[in-house]
């Protein structure tokens, strides 16, 4: 059986005879419009001047808020200072190595927990007078420096710990003066 010669396919009936089918242009046009819009938005965003975001004026606090903040911080410092005095009082007179280790651990705990406690109380009291806030931060940082120094195996005669100790003493004097 011989196959008849193939004839070209006839154009679809809805197209006029002899008309060629053209590719659709709307997807290309839509794509070009979308790309143009994205480019315009990107260029405008890049070239647009930044808005001035000036920090708002520092908040003002009432005398009562300042007094409450000061009392809270002074009490917090007194608690940490008392805990440190208790830890130091335990260190005198024992030659038992286990007791000495317990006292050293207790002192490190007071310094570590005390520094975090002071910073937490300071964060809770935005009305704290700036001089007191600075002294509290300085004290907390000195406590942390001492703890890290002790954990690093330094002794109190080391220059790093001497520096932290003098910073702590200076901060303590300032805090006691401001908390009178």
Q: How many CB atoms lie within 10 A of CB 174?
A: 17
DSSP 30-42: HHHHHHHHHHHHH
Give the pLDDT confidence score for residue 31 in this predicted structure. Answer: 85
The angle subtended at Cα 172 by Cα 167 and Cα 177, nearest 5°, is 130
> 96-110 pLDDT, tens per residue?
888 888 888 888 899
pLDDT of amino acid 9: 63
Higher-scoring residue by pLDDT: 27, 132 = 132
Sign of the dihedral through C-alpha 137, 138, 143, 146: positive
Average confidence (pLDDT) over 26-41: 87
pLDDT band at 156 (very low <50, low <70, confident <90, very high): confident
pLDDT-derived band at 16 (thresholds 50, 70, 90) equals low
CB 179 within 8 A of CB 133: no
pLDDT of amino acid 5: 60
* HSE-CB of 172 using CA atoms within 13 angstroms: 15
Closest CA to 130 of 78, 76, 56, 58: 58
Angstrom distance (rounded) from CA 119 to CA 136 = 7
What average pLDDT does this structure show over 72-91? 89
Q: How far apart are CA 137 and CA 129, in angstroms?
A: 12
């Amino acid at each position: 059986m011989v196959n008849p010669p193939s004839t070209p396919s006839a154009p679809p009936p809805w197209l006029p005879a002899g008309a060629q089918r053209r590719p659709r242009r709307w997807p290309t046009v839509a794509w070009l419009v979308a790309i143009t819009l994205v480019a315009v938005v990107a260029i405008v965003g890049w070239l647009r001047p930044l808005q001035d975001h000036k920090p708002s004026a520092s908040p003002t606090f009432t005398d009562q808020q300042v007094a409450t903040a000061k009392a809270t911080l002074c009490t917090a410092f007194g608690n940490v200072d008392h805990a440190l005095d208790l830890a130091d009082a335990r260190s005198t007179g024992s030659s038992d190595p286990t007791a000495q280790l317990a006292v050293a651990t207790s002192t490190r705990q007071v310094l570590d927990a005390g520094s975090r406690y002071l910073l937490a109380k300071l964060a809770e009291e935005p009305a704290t007078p700036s001089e007191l806030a600075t002294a509290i931060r300085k004290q907390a940082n000195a406590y942390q420096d001492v703890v890290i120094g002790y954990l690093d195996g330094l002794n109190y005669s080391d220059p790093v710990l001497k520096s932290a100790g003098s910073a702590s003493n200076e901060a303590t004097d300032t805090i006691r003066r401001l908390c009178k």
